[in-house]
Amino acid sequence: MLHKCIVVVCTTGERKFTCEICNKRFHRKDVLQEHHAVHQEAQIPCPLCNKKLKTKKSLDVHIYRHTGIRRYSCTDCGKVRIGVMPVIAKNLVLEF
């Protein structure tokens, strides 16, 4: 069930769209529409373990756990890398 978005007039032009359920604000309408999934029941099953997730994005992240692939972010530049094992470097941090 999709919820009607409420447009909030903002002097800065940022976060114009507000979720009518939790009042969280977003800068783009499509991001608000993706957010609506958090208020719905999980329906997308993992093909490997049948765990049900709410979004395709959360399914993709969940599947990484089965494959051993992890996300790593650089503490210097913030860039996220995905791989089985990070390059041995002090500036890479495992993300969960």
10 Å Cβ neighbour count for 35? 19
Band of the pLDDT at 6, cuts 50, 70, 90? very low
Q: pLDDT by residue (tens digit) across 15-52?
A: 889 999 999 999 999 999 888 888 989 999 999 999 99
CATH class of 6-39: alpha beta
- Residue 84's pLDDT is 58
In the chain, where are the structural domains located?
A: 6-39, 44-95
Phi-psi sector, 85: left (phi>0), alpha (psi -120 to 50), beta: beta
